[in-house]
Structure 1
Amino acid sequence: MKRIFGFGRKRKGQPPSGSASLPCPAGAYELRQKDLGKLHRAAASGDLAQVRQGVKKYGTDGRAKAERTALHLACANGHVDIVMYLVENKCKLNLFDNDNRSPLMKAVQCQQEKCVAILLEHGADPNLADADGNTALHLAVLSSNTTVAGLLLEHNANIDSQNKEGYTPLILAVSEHHEEIVEFLLRKGADVHARDQCERTPLMTAASGGELNLIKVLLQYGADVSQKDTNGWRAEDYAVIHGYSSLSKQLAEYADWENTGEASMGGGARGITALGTPHRAAAAGFTLGAPAVDRGAIDDFSQGDSIR
């Protein structure tokens, strides 16, 4: 996961321990003052007067180390007044830094909502992809920020865009266990049957983590328990492979219930009923709460597992 989303990558220009650096919020660039000219230092630190002078002398779109523009630095650090000034002075909105991230992506990554709104209102492209194929919406999912995700979707972000691993924002949200944003994306029309490069669905990903809340939500939105990946595995197989055999049994019985309308009433299927859901019946028998059963725990219905 770290490799896929670039978290483990050493950033160019990252300061060594003890070097003079500018303060920055989580997710922002780590900067050494000596790597920045006057304009970029002013944009990073929030000095609008110096930015004005720098723009008159150097223009709006000059590059600092690692191909960062003043707009990248202002967005990452949440300096709304500087972002507005640069935008009003016709800076280029969609330039990439060395990680192929636009200023909008940096604003999203650093959860600078006002900066995100300004950029989108002035035409920043929400569907550009970084070096790992992630769009701004993928980055919003990683932050579990529904407000930013909503802004992006209002400005025509592709809700089912895929990164290099084939992860859509929904698959990513499930893999990160972000229940709120999973429900948000499904309400907004995300494809519940999306597939990654190995043909894994969101339901398979949820089953591999024993995520009962997420499984129930996905079933409510019509997830198909019969779908198979490139290995021929279903969600129930992912559950048992990862140590959730009682969950696997319940998924199998739910599949029978879907196919026949009358799943076995014993064991894990007890209590499965039709609910009022957006698409079709869901499994009331999935107990809400923590993941199903720890991998090392005794997996037996008689032991009071989370699945009843």
Structure 2
Amino acid sequence: MAAPSISHSGTSGSNLAFEDYSLYSNLSDDELLQLAIERSLTDTHCNTATNNSTNTSSTTNTSSITSSSNTTNNTNNATNSATNTNRPPHHRENRPNPSAKNTNQPSCSGHNPPPAESTAHYSSPNPPSEEPPDPKTFEGTISRFMTGSGKRMVAYRRTDGSLVYMAPEPEEEEEPLFKAIRTGDANKVRALVMDQRTNLMLPSKPGWLAVHQAAWFGQDASLHMLLSAQPGMVNKRTARGETPLLVAVSKVQLQCAQVLLENGADPDIMNYDKETPLYKACERNSPALVALLLNHGAATNTRCIQGWTALQEAVVRNNVEICEMLLKAGAKLNLTNMYGISPLFTAAQTGQLATLRFLLKHGADINSQAADGATALYEAAKNGHENIVEFLVSQNADANKPGKTGLLPLHIAAQRGSDTIVSMLIPATSKARIRRCGISPLHLAAERNRDDVLETLIEADFDVNAQLSEERTKLYEDRRSTALYFSVINNNIDAVRMLLAAGADPNLDVFRPLMVAARLGCIQTITLLVEHGADINACIPTHPTTFPAVYMFSMKYLSMFKYLLDHGGDALSCFDCVYGSQTHPPIKTTRSDREGVRSTDLPETQTKKGIQFCEMISVPSICRWAGPIIDVLLDYVGHVSLCSRLMEHLDSYPDWRNIKEKAAPPRPLLQLCRLQILQLVGHRKLKKLPLPGSLIRFLKHQEMSLDDD
């Protein structure tokens, strides 16, 4: 790998002051070492050498050092790999220093030799060894970082930012006894233990004694020697409260654990997370360790800091063998953690069928509830464990126990979209209990766009017109109540089609689904709703208007607006005005002109009768379309009078004057006849009239000549 290039001209400490040491984290060990070498050579050589000779010498030396440093680092990396395995948590690894001393130091070539006190220029393959500054007396900054390969580096800089020293961070020397234990040198351990000068109670790190070291590395022979020489340290604890026994169990060192227990280790001493060796053995899923600890009297029902027992940990690992040993030793089935969760609940939550069967076989309560009211069946449905749900239902688990939100397992499965689980729970769930919940699974399936679940529920004869309870309706600002509303507001046309085909009533919500579809501009949904009887002329009780409320959301889309008028929308009410030709009061609006029309932003006038159409159309975001809107409306009315405000709009734009003339009496006879026929027959029965197609199209306001057929 090519070494990073360093400029050999004009290099100074000030240039280094702005370098970010985070850049070094992406360099390899070889590159970092080469960088340090080149900077050292540059600082000592370039300030005194001439241009040509010095550059040639530097280039030659750098090339030589690059080749050698790569070899040196490869050797070091191999050494690190050999010594890095299974480091105890309180022990820092020993790394060889890549800077090796070299006495082969030829003099620097050049016309001007460097001063005597300057460091000589080395052409030896290995760089000179330099001692790092004393951190206690060094005036500057000390930076530490890690290379991409994991090597820790340290850099010393002066206050001006210039680099003084950079090398791998020196590691503390490992104590001989700890090193002998780590490498498995039993003879060395024996010699050191017998040496009167060796203090066996001296830790290498906070609380980490030689006995912990032996337990960690599985050196049972060394452990036996240590305990024979100093029995008192059998239960000594580390900085994290770990005894040698807990360390051995954590590393699944069975022989060491046996040696410790035979030498009086207490099997119930916990670490600072209140984890006992038995709990840790279950966590490590080791039946042999569990058996060993139980044979030495380990307590079975001790709780960890979160209230978990050893049995719950064994259940999570789905280890029936360990569960059986614990029960025989006195473990209790229904102990709960701090959240009220029992082992049975844990098995259902994590999908562990084997241990779930075992617990039920030995008398666990299948319907026990956690602190939030959830049962094992509820939790299995929430997590999508189909095999667990199937088994619990077969064992008559109660599917009608709600959680704290009042939802049943069926609700949760529908919300999650688990069609298979929904099918399992439907027969086990009471529809009367669902009604008492105030919400149907249909609502949740529609809200989350779970179309498969929605279809399954419809086929199971769930009421498609079920409404949310008053309490649940209040949770929504728009006071929605039906599953159809959820599907419409999600713009889920397939779900809307399914619900309508199953008999959903589109007129049950306070704010009608048709208005929602118009606000979304979805003509396909509007068509479905109108075809299934949606009331086009409905108003909003909380925000009354003198005209159909759906017009507020459709006037910007003239094709949609015309479709609603074609299918029975009331156009005549749009021309009713209490002011008539008189001057209208100023319009008061509470919304931004940039926003679309919303029911909460209407002008405030005539509160008893409601908002008038002329006031609605005068809203700044609508008035620009006033002419075309009035023009469309005139096709659906007979003799009408335009109020002064509508006249103002038509006078505001020259091209709209013909619309005003269109409204002037008398209206065409064909128009009056069309209106009369539609009033007598109705829009839905037009197709059944024995009339020519052209006449039917005329009655439907489709712009075609009567002479076409």
Look up the match of 2:316.
142
State percent identity of aligned pairs: 25
Instruction: Return the offset for 1:253.
Output: 2.8
Deviations 1:189-236 (A, max 9, x none): 221111111010001111113322111211222311122222222211
* Residue 203 in structure 1 maps to residue 377 in structure 2: yes
Q: Is the alpha carbon distance of 1:152 and 1:22 closer, same or farther for their aligned partners in structure 2, counting shifts above 3 Å?
A: farther
The answer to whether the 8 A contact 1:76-1:112 is kept is no
Cα distance in 2, alignment partners of residues 23 and 106 from structure 1: 19
The one-letter amino acid of 2:271's match is D
Residue 23 in structure 1 maps to residue 86 in structure 2: yes
Q: CA–CA distance in 1 between the matches of 2:450 and 2:302?
A: 44
What is the match of residue 62 of structure 1? 236
Structure 2 residue aligned with 1:52 = 224
Q: Is the 2:390–2:424 contact (alpha carbons within 8 Å) kept by the matching residues of 1?
A: no
Cα 1:218/1:110, change in 2 over 3 Å: same
Provide, for residues 126-155 of structure 1, a one-character-per-residue CA deviation record: whole Å limited to 9, x for no partner: 111111111111111222222212211111
Shift in alpha-carbon separation, 1:302–1:115, aligned structure 2, 3 A? same
CA distance in 1, matches of 2:310, 2:328: 13
Change (3 A) 1:174 1:250: closer
Counterpart in the other structure of 2:214: 42
Contact 1:246/1:299 (<8 A) preserved: no
Aligned pair partner of 1:241 in 385, 399, 415: 415
Kept in 2, the 8 Å contact 1:108–1:148? The answer is yes
Q: Distance in 2 between matches of 1:90 and 1:22?
A: 30
Measure the CA separation in 1 of the matches of 2:384 and 2:310.
Answer: 28
- Equivalent-residue separation in structure 1 for 2:296 and 2:372 (angstroms): 38
Contact 1:22 1:31 in 2 (8 A): no
What's the counterpart of residue 557 of structure 2?
none
1:171 aligns with one of 321, 334, 345: 345
Q: Give the letter for the 1:41 counterpart.
A: Q
Question: Does the CA-based 8 Å contact 1:60-1:89 persist in structure 2?
Answer: yes
Please state how far the C-alpha of 1:246 moved relative to its aligned partner.
6.5
* Cα 1:193/1:48, change in 2 over 3 Å: same
Q: Deviations for 1:90-117, whole angstroms, at most 9, x for unmatched residues? A: 2211111021101111111112221110
Would the aligned equivalents of 1:72 and 1:102 in 2 still touch at CA under 8 Å? yes
Contact 2:417/2:453 (8 A) holds in 1: no
* 2:90 paired with 1:32: yes
Q: Deviations over 1:234-260 (max 9, x none)?
A: 211221222236744652333359x9x
In our comparison, the structure showing a higher alpha carbon Rg is 2
TM-score (normalised: structure 2): 0.32
**C-alpha separation between the residues in 1 aligned to 2:398 and 2:452?**
25
Higher relative contact order (CA 8 A, sep 6+): 1
Check conservation: 2:307, 2:337, Cα contact below 8 A: yes
Structure 1 position 193 matched with structure 2 position 367 = yes
Q: Is the 8 A contact 1:193 1:224 kept in 2?
A: yes
Residue of structure 2 aligned with 1:81, choices 255, 265, 276: 255
Higher mean Cα deviation, 102-111 or 139-148?
139-148
Change (3 A) 1:43 1:22: farther
Q: Kindly tell me: are residues 22 and 140 of structure 1, through their superposed partners in 2, closer, same or farther at Cα, counting changes over 3 Å?
A: farther
Q: Is 2:315–2:346's contact at 8 Å kept on the other side of the alignment?
A: yes
Contact 2:301 2:331 in 1 (8 A): yes
- Residues 4-50 of structure 1, C-alpha deviations (whole Å, 9 max, x = no match): xxxxxxxxxxxxxx9x87638xxxxx623353221100011111222
Deviation digits for residues 237-285 of structure 1 (CA, Å, limit 9, x no counterpart): 221222236744652333359x9xxxxxxxxxxxxxxxxxxxxxxxxxx
Q: Which residue type is aligned with residue 380 of structure 2?
A: A
TM-score, length-scaled by structure 1:
0.72
Structure 2 Cα separation of the partners of residues 149 and 243 of structure 1 = 33
Contact kept? 1:38, 1:50, Cα under 8 Å: no
Letter paired with 1:118: L
The CA distance in 2 between the partners of 1:42 and 1:199, in whole Å, is: 47
1:43·1:70 contact (CA, 8 Å) conserved in 2? yes
Distance 1:237 1:301 in 2: 12
Q: Secondary structure at the match of 2:452?
A: coil
Contact 1:173 1:182 (8 Å CA) reproduced: yes
Residue 304 (structure 2) pairs with residue 151 (structure 1)? no
Asked whether the 8 Å contact 2:409–2:425 carries over to 1, the reply is yes
C-alpha separation in 1, matches of 2:265 and 2:298? 11
Q: Note if contact 2:393-2:428 (Cα within 8 Å) is conserved in structure 1.
A: no
Name the CA distance, whole Å, in 2 between partners of 1:179 and 1:68: 33
In structure 1, C-alpha distance between the alignment counterparts of 2:302 and 2:85, rounded to whole Å: 28
**SS of alignment partner, residue 140 of structure 1:** helix
Label 1:298 to 1:161 Cα distance change in 2 as closer, same or farther (>3 A): same
Task: Report the Cα distance in structure 1 between the residues aligned to 2:318 and 2:347, rounded to whole angstroms.
Answer: 8
- Equivalent residue for 2:356? 182
Inter-partner Cα distance in structure 2 for 1:231 and 1:144: 30
Cα distance in 2 for residues equivalent to 1:180 and 1:301: 32
Which of 274, 292, 304 is matched with 1:100 structurally? 274
How far apart are residue 296 of structure 1 and its match? 7.3
Does structure 1 residue 225 correspond to structure 2 residue 225?
no
Aligned-residue CA RMSD (Å): 2.8
Aligned CA distance change for structure 1 residues 67 and 219 (closer, same or farther; 3 Å): same
The answer as to whether partners of 1:22 and 1:45 remain within 8 angstroms in 2 is no
| Structure 2: segments with no counterpart, 5+ residues | 1-80, 92-203, 434-447, 461-709
For structure 1, the residue ranges without an aligned partner over 5 or more in a row are 1-17, 25-29, 260-294
SS of 2:211's partner is helix
Determine helix, strand or coil for the equivalent of 2:289.
helix
